[in-house]
Amino acid sequence: MPRISPVTPDNTPAASAPLLAAVKAKLGVVPGMMATWAHAPAALKAYLAMAEALGSGTLSAGERELVALAAAEANQCEYCLAAHHVLGKGAGLSDASVAAAREGRGTTPREQAIAMLTRQIVLQRGLVSDAEFAAARSALGEAGVLEVIGAVALNLYTNYTNHIAQTEVDFPRVALREPLKLAA
């Protein structure tokens, strides 16, 4: 049972109603996480604005989904893992790319750099070594590294919201793996 239940049409704050309508127009549904944030219009706006801003960057939709999958698994967020399995497929990720991202790996050198940097940021709380940073910068460029950091921050927001609110999973469930450890 959620600690914070999603809003209903009867208790949606007026400032959240148009935001939820836009989400529904874009996705066809209002995910429970969005309906939970709708209690605090500023919180919902913050998520939507950051997601939109990152959507205009150099990382593709699929690459942003790699970040989401790697972060969800590293943070043990069942809701986000389930959601991004669906969204990742919709962004064109293969089964192999989805599985690899969950392990902090990739199926191409660029995917590897994105997933590994994500896992390093999450598990090391942003304290990546010079060598780890140099590898990421070499593969992604400085803009790519900064966008991965932004995407990780966005996904920490979603992961932590779902942990605290205990958002009910409204996507097909995906089993979490054992908590990740950094690869050598």
pLDDT tens-digit readout, 35-75: 999 999 999 999 999 999 999 999 999 999 999 999 999 99
| Other C-beta atoms lying within 10 Å of the C-beta of residue 127 | 9
Residue 180: per-residue pLDDT: 56
Section 11-15 average pLDDT = 98
Q: Report the chain's mean pLDDT, rounded to a whole number.
A: 95
- Right CATH for 7-56 from 1.10.3470, 3.30.70, 1.20.5, 1.20.50: 1.20.5
The band of 178, judged by pLDDT with boundaries at 50, 70 and 90, is: confident
- Right CATH for 60-184 from 1.20.1290.10, 3.40.50.620, 3.10.20.30, 3.40.140.10: 1.20.1290.10
pLDDT tens-digit readout, 107-156: 999 999 999 999 999 999 999 999 999 999 999 999 999 999 999 999 99
Residue 89: per-residue pLDDT: 95
**DSSP secondary structure string for all residues of 27-90:** HSS--HHHHHHTTSHHHHHHHHHHHHHHHTSSS-HHHHHHHHHHHHHHTT-HHHHHHHHHHHHH
Question: 7-56 and 60-184 share one CATH topology?
Answer: no
E strands, 77-171, in order: none
The band of 184, judged by pLDDT with boundaries at 50, 70 and 90, is: low
What are the sequence ranges of the domains in the chain? 7-56, 60-184
